[in-house]
């Protein structure tokens, strides 16, 4: 059975730990040691107070479920310790120089970095953009104004432009746009809408290229055990961990 180390024991960490099937959570670390200890009690894994001891633990891969800062601080060390890395705080990879350093470390230590599809579908064949060319990728996200902290009364375009610039103003929207950009191998045009009429987070992806064109719309409900996370994003993490142990791979 695959042995997983959890870097970050908050909402996502709990979600992974409470659905640990076909893998076990064997090692846990959090900058707040009480959180790691509490979750270790529930999983039967070992909580570590120091990152150095955690990264040396007997695990096959480490799931980062902490923060952009944690990925930047610890990502290379995880790979250097001979462990694969699952990155949840995908926004950390918007820094091209850091991404390159992570790639170099993964190659040097023959390890892999996995990025879950999160709150959207379609990353699989968006990857053809790296070979066949995609002329245009647009991510249109619509959220209730409350979740953006905006006092808006009608449907309003609150941002239009490059993903990097959107991140400055609305950092919580970074994971989806960076994952799409990495899959397609190119810049994504982002539109962010506030709409009091929606009760779900809606992501629409429009892609046009040599292959033809595609339109994908995902309307996300909150995760039943963690309303802050889309249920699809929660499922996507769990299926990634299951798939790693499965010899048959489906999808590009």
Ligand X SMILES: NC(=O)c1ccc[n+]([C@@H]2O[C@H](COP(=O)([O-])OP(=O)(O)OC[C@H]3O[C@@H](n4cnc5c(N)ncnc54)[C@H](O)[C@@H]3O)[C@@H](O)[C@H]2O)c1
Q: Which residues are tagged catalytic?
A: 203
Counting contacts by CB under 6 A, is residue 156 touching ligand X?
no
Tokens of 67: 């923060």
**Residues 247, 139: Cα–Cα separation, whole Å:** 33
Backbone angles phi, psi at 123, to 5 degrees: -65, -25
For ligand X, give the closer residue by CB, 63 or 209.
Answer: 63
CB of 44 to ligand X, least distance (A): 19
For ligand X, give the closer residue by CB, 45 or 118.
Answer: 118
Counting contacts by CB under 6 A, is residue 65 touching ligand X?
yes
232 neighbors 119 (Cβ within 8 angstroms): yes
Q: Name the residue number minimizing CB distance to ligand X.
A: 10
Residue 43's CB is within 10 A of a number of other CB atoms, namely: 22
Counting contacts by CB under 6 A, is residue 116 touching ligand X?
yes
Enumerate residues 172-191 that contact ligand X by CB under 6 A. Answer: 175
Among 67, 125, 156, 160, indicate the residue that binds ligand X (CB under 6 A): 67
Counting contacts by CB under 6 A, is residue 30 touching ligand X?
yes
For ligand X, give the closer residue by CB, 75 or 145.
Answer: 75
Counting contacts by CB under 6 A, is residue 8 touching ligand X?
yes
What DSSP string describes 57-101? Answer: SS-SEEEE-S-HHHHHHHHHHHHHTT-EEEES-GGGGGSHHHHHH
CB of 246 to ligand X, least distance (A): 20
Among 17, 25, 28, 35, indicate the residue that binds ligand X (CB under 6 A): 35
Counting contacts by CB under 6 A, is residue 24 touching ligand X?
no
**Residues 4, 7: Cα–Cα separation, whole Å:** 10
Residue 148, C-beta contacts closer than 8 angstroms, at least 6 positions apart: 158, 170, 192, 194
**Residues 139, 150: Cα–Cα separation, whole Å:** 20
Q: What does the DSSP 8-state code read for residue 127?
A: G
Among 6, 9, 102, 207, indicate the residue that binds ligand X (CB under 6 A): 9
Q: Which stretch binds ligand X (CB under 6 A): 3-11, 40-48, 148-156, 189-197?
A: 3-11
For ligand X, give the closer residue by CB, 12 or 47.
Answer: 12
Instruction: Compose the 194-213 pattern: x for residues touching ligand X by CB under 6 A, - for all others.
Output: --------------------
Burial of 96 (0-12, 13-18, 19+ CB in 10 A): exposed
For ligand X, give the closer residue by CB, 209 or 237.
Answer: 237
Closest CA to 114 of 249, 248, 243, 247: 243
Applying CB under 6 A, which residues contact ligand X? 8-13, 30-32, 35, 65-67, 69-70, 73, 88-90, 116, 118-119, 175, 228-229, 233
């Amino acid at each position: 059975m695959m042995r997983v180390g959890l870097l970050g024991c908050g909402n996502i960490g709990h979600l992974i730990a409470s659905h640990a099937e076909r893998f076990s959570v064997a090692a846990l670390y959090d900058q707040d040691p009480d959180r790691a200890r509490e979750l270790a009690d529930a999983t039967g894994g070992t909580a570590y107070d120091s990152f150095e001891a955690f990264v040396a633990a007997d695990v096959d891969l480490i799931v980062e479920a902490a923060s952009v800062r944690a990925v930047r601080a610890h990502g290379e060390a995880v790979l250097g310790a001979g462990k694969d890395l699952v990155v949840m705080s995908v926004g950390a990879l918007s820094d091209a120089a850091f991404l390159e350093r992570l790639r170099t470390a993964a190659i040097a230590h023959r390890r892999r970095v996995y990025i879950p599809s999160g709150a959207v579908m379609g990353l699989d064949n968006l990857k053809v953009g790296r070979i066949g060319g995609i002329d245009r990728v647009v991510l249109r996200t619509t959220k209730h104004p409350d979740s953006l902290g905006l006092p808006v009364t009608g449907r309003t375009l609150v941002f239009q432009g490059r993903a990097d610039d959107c991140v400055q103003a609305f950092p919580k929207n970074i994971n989806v746009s960076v994952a799409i950009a990495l899959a397609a191998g190119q810049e994504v045009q982002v539109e962010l809408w506030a709409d009091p009429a929606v009760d779900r987070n809606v992501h629409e992806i429009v892609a046009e290229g040599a292959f033809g064109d595609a339109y994908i719309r995902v309307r996300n409900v909150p995760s039943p055990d963690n309303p802050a996370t889309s249920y699809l994003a929660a499922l996507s993490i769990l299926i990634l961990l299951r798939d790693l142990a499965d010899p048959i791979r489906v999808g590009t």
